[in-house]
Amino acid sequence: MKHIRNFCIIAHIDHGKSTLADRLLDFTGSVTDREKQEQLLDSMDLERERGITIKSHAIQMDYEYEGEKYVLNLIDTPGHVDFSYEVSRSIAACEGALLIVDAAQSIQAQTISNLYLALEHDLEIIPVLNKVDLPSANPEVVSDDIVDLLGCDHDDIIPASAKTGLGIEEILKAIITRVPPPSGKIDAPLRALIFDSVYNPFRGVETYFRVINGSIKKGQNIKFVATNKNYFADEVGTLRLKQFPRKEIKTGDVGYLITGIKDAREVKVGDTITDAKNPTTEAVAGFEDVKPMVFAGIYPVDTEDYEELRSSMEKLQLNDASLVFVPESSAALGFGFRCGFLGMLHLEIIQERLEREFDMTVITTVPNVSYHAYTNKNPDDLILVNNPSDLPEPSSLNRVEEPFIKATIITKADYVGNVMSLCIEKRGEITNQVYLTPERVELSFDMPLAEIVFDFYDRLKTVSRGYASFDYSPIGMRQSKLVKVDVLLNGNIVDALSALLHVDNAYDIGKKMCEKLKELIPRQQFDIPIQAAIGSKIIARETVKALRKDVTAKCYGGDISRKRKLLEKQKKGKKRMRQVGNVEIPQEAFMAVLKLND
């Protein structure tokens, strides 16, 4: 056990985690020249296209140091705030973390939030100053920032460049000398933590685990504590670039397990694996449930694909435990699911993965957050509103509370005014302003979560020219004046486009929604009125004009009453058509509502 080291890599987006992981694999000889490629651990096409890490990836390396052989288990983690749940899972399986800071960009919001996650789990932190070879790098100043943040010595910081391979040997030496070996009892009953799983269509669910006590052998009878079900360990092994089957995985090591489970619901991330005959008395603690921030409906384009969508979502949930979903139905879209996501990027990624990995074409409704409503009849009884259509009638409503967050934004001093005006426009209240250096400012705001769901992150990047980093944490519910804005097409409410909005913004947003829909809804044979309404009061209206045939073309000259008669006849036909006509809403219309400011 004393020759095993488990560590993860944490950093802000784009500070070079995946590139550093590539260099560590090269240096330890874990990959052959044929297997080498950029972003080696990012196995999804989506990750390569966007240049971001979405999933944590575990891999094992062998390294010889001072004549002794060591086994290093590395878990590469995502940097985006929407995937912080992945990071918390990886941290639970490690004893140490490489904290990577970009020498040009210095410490960003996500660096700090991931660092706190690691410190909560008592991980040994090794600070690495990456990209020191860049012409814009400022290693002295950034080193001082790291010392202030961590309270470490200047000598503890390892200067490195993942691109050129500088400092890689020092990093490996630091991992072996500074990160403590795993602690655990080899002779105790088996106790292992599941930190990830993936669905293989041929072999069922593959479970990734970290052994805390005891050992797991091939052919052993095992039990999952949360579901209380017994299985047979068909295959256990370690995770190299490919899977390496082994006879036994011992205490402190990380590996994979195949039991032939076909039902995705039987494996829960964070569950404990133990021996069926001699079970452990205590499950692994300290593993938190995911708290979704944004809710949206996902519906199959064809209602017959509902069951197929359900099984696709279950398989996807295995691989991404932060996805939460429950069935729901909508008058406009039929049967589908109400899904909880960690943020807008997460929603986008899930939608793309459903299309790519499972060939499911889906419609996504307008995202919203979850509210608490109270009625006049029972002012103490809480009604959870995940969908605007669940909101009680305005006449019986006592009050509505919405979730607030504490937003931390780190930006350059030049952009403070722009960032402040954006946050105030989004109903934010500034609570703190700290100058980290004369150039960089940390701003703290209390803001409603609903305001950042839509386009906040994109607009923040725009007003700060890409120099602002953003992180948030929930701070509870607060009372707000909210109203439900409905969109009516041809006099019928489209429940999938309803939104709960603050009174002050309702009129503007209702007007913009109508204008946007007017551009996107194709013209029909009859006039289509598009209206935004609060209760029974119409606050905005646009009309998509009818396509019409020139019925008077055959009348040349003659009396006006002849033309009148033909036009009246056409008008009657259009009126009847409007009563029976059905308006199809294109998928772009649902997504366009999110980008009202473009």
Residue 408 marked ligand-binding: no
Residue 48 banded pLDDT, cuts 50, 70, 90: low
pLDDT in tens, 285-322: 655 566 677 778 888 887 788 888 888 888 887 777 67
Report the range of poorest mean pLDDT among 108-122, 243-257, 319-333, 576-590: 576-590
Angle in degrees, 0-180, between the axes of helices 109-120 and 84-92, rounded to the nearest 10:
30
Q: Amino acid identity, residue 442?
A: E
Query: What is the spatial distance between Cα 265 and Cα 478, in angstroms, rounded to a whole number?
Result: 35
DSSP symbols for 74-135:
EEE---SGGGHHHHHHHHHT-SEEEEEEETTTB--HHHHHHHHHHHHTTPEEEEEEE-TTST
- The residues facing 410 across adjacent strands are 442, 469
Cβ-proximal residues to 486 (8 Å cutoff; 6+ apart), any chain: 493, 494, 497, 498, 532, 533, 534
* Residue 5 scores a pLDDT above 80: yes
Tokens representing 35 are 């297997």
DSSP codes, 161-228: BTTTTBTHHHHHHHHHHHSPPP---TTSPPEEEEEEEEEETTTEEEEEEEEEES-EETT-EEEETTTT
Radius of gyration of the chain (CA): 28
pLDDT at 584: 67
| Whole-number pLDDT of residue 174 | 86
Binding residue per annotation — 14?
yes
Q: Which two tokens stand for residue 216?
A: 């797991």
- Residue whose pair of structure tokens reads 């002794």 in the numeric block: 68
Selected residue with higher pLDDT from 13 and 101: 101
Answer yes or no: are the C-beta atoms of 248 and 202 closer than 8 Å: no
Cα 546 to Cα 522: distance, rounded to the nearest angstrom: 10
What ranges in 380-533 are assigned the alpha helix state H? 416-425, 449-453, 456-463, 503-520
391-416 pLDDT, tens digit per residue, is: 777 777 788 888 888 888 888 788 88
Please report which helix (H) or strand (E) contains residue 159, including its range.
strand 158-159
Q: What would you measure as the largest C-alpha separation in the chain, in angstroms?
A: 108
Question: Average of pLDDT values for 117-126?
Answer: 82
| Distance, CA of 308 to chain centre | 23
Q: Which two tokens stand for residue 111?
A: 């660096």
The pTM assigned to this predicted structure is 0.68
pLDDT of residue 40: 56
The CB-side HSE value for 31 (13 A sphere, CA atoms) comes to: 18
Within 10 angstroms of residue 550's Cβ, the number of other Cβ atoms is 8
Q: What share of the chain is helix, strand, coil (3-state, %, to 5)?
A: 30, 35, 35
**Whether the predicted pLDDT of 424 surpasses 80:** yes
Q: Where are the alpha helices (DSSP H) in 426-499?
A: 449-453, 456-463
- pLDDT for res 196: 77
Check if the beta carbon of residue 494 is closer than 8 Å to that of residue 365.
no
Task: Using the Cα atoms of residue 80, residue 471, residue 292 and residue 428 in order, give the sign of their dihedral.
Answer: negative
CB atoms within 10 A of CB 226: 14
Please, which residues have CB within 8 angstroms of residue 177's CB and are 6 or more apart in sequence?
none
Dist. CA 45–CA 47, nearest whole Å: 5
Query: Is position 17 annotated in a ligand binding site?
Result: yes
Q: What whole-number distance in Å separates Cα of residue 399 and Cα of residue 475?
A: 19
Q: How far apart are CA 559 and CA 484, in angstroms?
A: 52
Mean pLDDT across the stretch 103-112? 76
Nearest Cα residue to 106 out of 57, 157, 56: 157
Per-residue pLDDT of 484-529, as tens digits, reads 888 888 777 777 777 787 888 788 888 888 888 888 887 777 778 8
Read off the pLDDT band of 594 (50, 70, 90): low
18 is in an annotated binding site: yes
Name the DSSP class of 252: T
Which band of pLDDT confidence, cut at 50, 70 and 90, is reported for residue 175?
Answer: confident
Is 15 assigned a ligand-binding role in the annotation?
A: yes
**pLDDT score of 582 more than 80:** no
Q: How many CB atoms lie within 10 A of CB 141?
A: 12
Instruction: State how far the Cα of 542 lies from the Cα of 517, in Å rounded to an integer.
Output: 9
Could you give the 3-state DSSP secondary structure of residue 29?
coil
Would the annotation count 130 as a binding residue?
yes
Tokens 């651990």 locate to 41
Mean pLDDT of 102-115: 77
Asked whether residue 16 is marked as a ligand-binding residue, the answer is yes
Q: Annotated binding residue at 219?
A: no
> Are 156 and 173 contacting, i.e. CB atoms less than 8 angstroms apart?
no
Contact (Cβ atoms closer than 8 angstroms) between residue 272 and residue 223: no
Strand partners of residue 232: 221
Length of the chain: 598
